């Protein structure tokens, strides 16, 4: 049996952290991971100012915990004051970059077309994009959740993603930082729809794409959310700033680890549905 999708728990520190507290949090996590390495991938995405410092504390590219950024520019260099290009992030030791988070879509009016350009730049630089999608409360009330997330994914995923690794995070906008989450059944419905959409686009490669759930995940609800079919880990905001809570989410995710078989092939190489 092949484990196609090793779970990933990603901490999104957002605009939080100065050197001292960021380093203390990182060292405590590295210590926990060293003593009891869980059978999952762990990622930390600090603010850009801390990437090099935290990357070093994580032990560089060989460290057990990976480093990621929270955004990148759509272009690789040039006269773009304030922007940070994907090759710079790779050079700073990042392996992943979060793209299209609803806070960027909201605060900076990022469109899915821009997210797609950023994801292309990330893939070209060897980074794994974590492409975020999610509906607002009003879209949810109107029964548009599946249509919204499929549409965002279709418009945000670049052509290059057909052949390269990427991650998708489903983050309902209304669940982020609110203390409210969808039920496990609701999460399962969305993740199932996203997997089906990916199968239509990528064929059997869709089985290797990790689908994260994000939005008010904490130590108490992680076990139930991470046990849902097609949930391959979490994107964690507020709880990633508390070492013990973040660690308990990692442990709960590892405890729920699902083993995913490679999809059976029909004759002619088509995937069985």
Tell how far CA 258 is from the center of its chain. 18
215 scored as a contact of ligand PGA (CB under 6 A): yes
Query: What letters, b where the CB count within 10 A reaches 16 and e where it falls short, cover 6-45?
Result: ebbbbbbbbebbeeeebbebbeebbebbeeeebebbbbbb
Please pick, from the candidates 128, 216, 230, 253, the single residue that binds ligand PGA as defined by CB under 6 A.
Answer: 216
CA distance 247 to 270: 40
CB of 71 to ligand PGA, least distance (A): 12
CB of 67 to ligand PGA, least distance (A): 16
Query: Looking at 103, 110, 171, 245, which residue is catalytic?
Result: 171
- Which SS3 state, helix, strand or coil, does residue 66 take? strand
Residue 101 designated active-site: yes
134 scored as a contact of ligand PGA (CB under 6 A): no
CB of 118 to ligand PGA, least distance (A): 17
CA distance 128 to 131: 9
Place of tokens 């869980």: 38
Taking contact as CB under 6 A, which single stretch among the options 34-42, 47-55, 169-177, 261-269 is the one that binds ligand PGA?
169-177
Please pick, from the candidates 58, 66, 85, 176, the single residue that binds ligand PGA as defined by CB under 6 A.
Answer: 176
171 scored as a contact of ligand PGA (CB under 6 A): yes
Query: Looking at 101, 110, 191, 245, which residue is catalytic?
Result: 101
x/- mask, ligand PGA, residues 23-62, rule CB under 6 A, reads: ----------------------------------------
CA distance 242 to 225: 19
By the 10 Å C-beta count (0-12 exposed, 13-18 middle, 19+ buried), 173 is classed as: buried
CB of 103 to ligand PGA, least distance (A): 7
Interior CA angle at 39 toward 166 and 56, to 5°? 70
x/- mask, ligand PGA, residues 4-23, rule CB under 6 A, reads: --------x-----------
Instruction: Decide: 133 and 152 in contact? Cβ < 8 Å.
Output: yes
Residue 180 designated active-site: no
Catalytic residue numbers read 101, 171
The site for ligand PGA (CB under 6 A) is made up of: 12, 171, 176-177, 214-217, 235-239
């Amino acid at each position: 049996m092949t484990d196609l999708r090793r779970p990933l728990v990603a901490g999104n520190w957002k605009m939080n952290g100065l050197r001292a507290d960021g380093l203390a949090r990182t060292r405590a996590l590295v210590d926990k991971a060293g003593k009891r390495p869980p059978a999952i991938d762990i990622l930390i995405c600090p603010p850009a100012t801390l990437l090099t410092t935290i990357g070093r504390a994580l032990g560089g590219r060989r460290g057990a915990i990976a480093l990621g950024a929270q955004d990148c520019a759509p272009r690789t260099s040039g006269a773009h004051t304030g922007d940070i290009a994907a090759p710079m992030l790779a050079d700073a030791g990042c392996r992943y970059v979060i793209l299209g988070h609803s806070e960027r879509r909201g605060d900076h009016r990022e469109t899915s077309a821009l997210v797609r350009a950023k994801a292309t730049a990330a893939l070209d630089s060897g980074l794994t994009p974590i492409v975020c999608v999610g509906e607002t409360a009003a879209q949810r009330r109107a029964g548009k959740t599946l249509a919204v997330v499929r549409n965002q994914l279709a418009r945000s995923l670049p052509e290059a993603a057909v052949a390269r690794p990427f991650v998708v995070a489903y983050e309902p906008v209304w669940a982020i930082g609110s203390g409210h989450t969808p039920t496990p059944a609701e999460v399962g419905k969305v993740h199932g729809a996203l997997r089906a959409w990916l199968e239509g686009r990528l064929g059997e490669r869709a089985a290797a794409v990790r689908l994260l759930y994000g939005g008010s995940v904490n130590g108490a609800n992680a076990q139930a959310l991470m046990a849902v079919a097609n949930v391959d880990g979490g994107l964690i905001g507020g709880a990633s700033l508390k070492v013990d809570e973040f660690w308990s989410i990692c442990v709960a995710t590892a405890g729920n680890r699902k083993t995913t078989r490679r999809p059976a092939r029909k004759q002619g190489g088509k995937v069985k549905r």
